[in-house]
A and B are shown apart, each in its own frame.
Chain A
Amino acid sequence: MKSEQNFGTRLLTIVKWFILLFFLLVALLPLVWLFINSFRSNLELQISSFGWPQKWLFSNYIKAMEMASLPRLFLNSVITSASAVALNIIVAAMAGFILSREFFKGRDTIYTVLTAGVLVPIIAFMVPYFSLISRSGIYNTLFALILVYASVNIPVSIFLVTSFMRSIPKELEEAAIIDGCSFTQRFTKIIFPLTQSGLVTAGTFCFIYSWNDFIMAMLLTSSIESRTIQLGIKFFSSQFITDYTTMFAAIILTIIPSVGAYMFLHNKIISGLTAGAVKG
């Protein structure tokens, strides 16, 4: 009986670690394979994709940088994502302030309609977005992408920011009103600073969406001046049609900023992303 139980727990431990290791390999092995091969020559790759580089070819990275105008695309992505996040959280914070603090007819309806926007598959709107953006004369500009990214994330941000603001005690503002604080000051001096961690969560969602988006960038831009890095990887994959290992280097270069940021901020990112979900 005792040995049977021992056998059972041991088997369970083996199965448990098998599962954990399997998903560890799934997460890491493809990236490691890509990384190592990005330093090898195309000939080496053709012979076998396993194995170390005979000589570590940093030249692949230099070639990738030159051919794909990566710095420009990278800068475009940074500008677009940062502006979209700023626009998104400012307008969401202002609206959240009203929706969590003021009483007026139709307030709950407005809140419900705004947050129900999460249920809409945005790809269904490709035609109207294209039509709206080109008729406004902002086709092929970073501004178009900023507007779209900030807007598409409104439902998520409104939900996160409003629920966060509701949890801030009203007494704080009542004290401030007695001290002669105006309506706008209540927002700028009290509510906005106190909502910081809610805004960071909303901003993280918006940033990840904006940085990683491919569809809208493909739909709304047409030249290098306003292309983002994601579009860049796709388009330079066709330039490197036979130079695979340089293409690998280019992919690695675009991954580095996200992975680097994640290494430093992983605890914040994970707890931020789950802050909204756990409420459900």
Chain B
Amino acid sequence: MPRLLFLLPVLVLFIGFFIYPFLFTLGTSLTRWRGIGSMQFNGLKNYTRLLADPTFRLAMKNNLIWALAQGFIQVPLAALVAMILLRQPKGWQTLRTVYFLPNVISTVAIAMMWTALYNVQYGFINEVLVKFFKREPINFLGNPDFALGAVIFQAVIYIGYFMIVILAAGMNIPRELYEAAEIDGASVFQQERYITIPMLRGTLVTTVTLAMAYGIRHFEATYLMTQGGPMHSTTTMGIDLYDKMDALRYSDASTEGVLLIIFGSVMIVVIRKIFGKSDPMSEMAQ
């Protein structure tokens, strides 16, 4: 019996912060509830209303754009840099350390920094536009045509995390494979194409899955830089959920939570179907 006591703390916390919240979200999504007072059963009406809501549809579309940008721009860039570093050019260890540096800084600090860089009056980026390209300054975060791209850009160019994961996996590829390929006259590109990429397949699938999962969950940087605006142009499901909760529309917020979980799961299944299996448990970290 003391053996089960060892398991108890984790079970209590897991039930409190995973199982109960899941059932609570599922339950309240089927009711009309404003946080206080009684709940009334409402069937699937919240779902049909939310799926027809233009802001929610925009949020879903933006999350999909985030997921694609992270999975198919950020990860390939990270893989490219990792492949170069795997050939151990001069100073590669220092470069690896510096590339990862922004990843230890909080999203909040990075987001505030980029808000300043994008600023119309004094931002670095607008100054470059005006001085070197003789263009009018652009209000990147205040213009619905630019805002989504601007927020995604500042996230996607930080490749550090995926780069070290791919690099660490690449270190395990036996050097002899490259030596043999070299003797057979294979070019650098052929070596990468026929040795590195196939050997890293599992890791690449894992990182793409992880990156796309981040895209579906995206909240912080956008909330900090634009609050989902201007005119909802940068909103995501997480931000829309928060807005609904803030407006005391608790059952709508819960409904959006359920849909967020469903979309996240569907996406992971689809990636698996397309790219094959990877170890699901190495897709960790929130």
Q: Taking beta carbons and an 8 Å cutoff, which residues of A are in contact with B?
A: 12, 16-17, 19-20, 23-24, 26-28, 30-31, 33-34, 45-46, 48-50, 90-92, 94-95, 97-99, 102, 104, 110, 113-132, 147-148, 150-156, 158-160, 183-184, 187, 205, 208-209, 211-212, 214-215, 230, 233-234, 237, 244, 247-248, 251, 254-255, 258-259, 261-262, 266, 269-271, 273-274, 276-280
Contact = CB atoms under 8 A, between A and B. Distances in A.
A262 B99 CA distance: 12
Contacts of A209: 285-286
Given A127-B28, A280-B206, A24 B124 contact: no
A45 B122 contact: yes
B261 A120 contact: yes
Contacts of B14: 113-114, 117, 151, 154
B220 A214 contact: yes
Contact of A95 (B9, B25, B158, B159): B9
B114 A30 contact: yes
B220 A279 contact: no
21 contacts: A16-B89, A19-B84, A20-B81, A23-B99, A30-B114, A48-B127, A94-B6, A95-B9, A104-B3, A120-B22, A121-B238, A127-B25, A128-B20, A150-B13, A151-B18, A156-B285, A159-B284, A259-B104, A276-B282, A278-B169, A280-B279
Contacts of A274: 164-165, 167-168
Interface of B: 2-4, 6-7, 9-11, 13-14, 16-18, 20-22, 24-25, 28, 35, 80-81, 84, 89, 95-102, 104-109, 112-117, 121-124, 127, 157-161, 164-165, 167-169, 172, 188, 202-203, 206, 213, 216-217, 219-220, 223-224, 238, 241-242, 245, 250, 253-254, 256-258, 260-261, 264-265, 268, 278-286
A243 B137 CA distance: 21
Nearest to B214: A121
Contacts of B2: 183-184
A269 B258 CA distance: 35
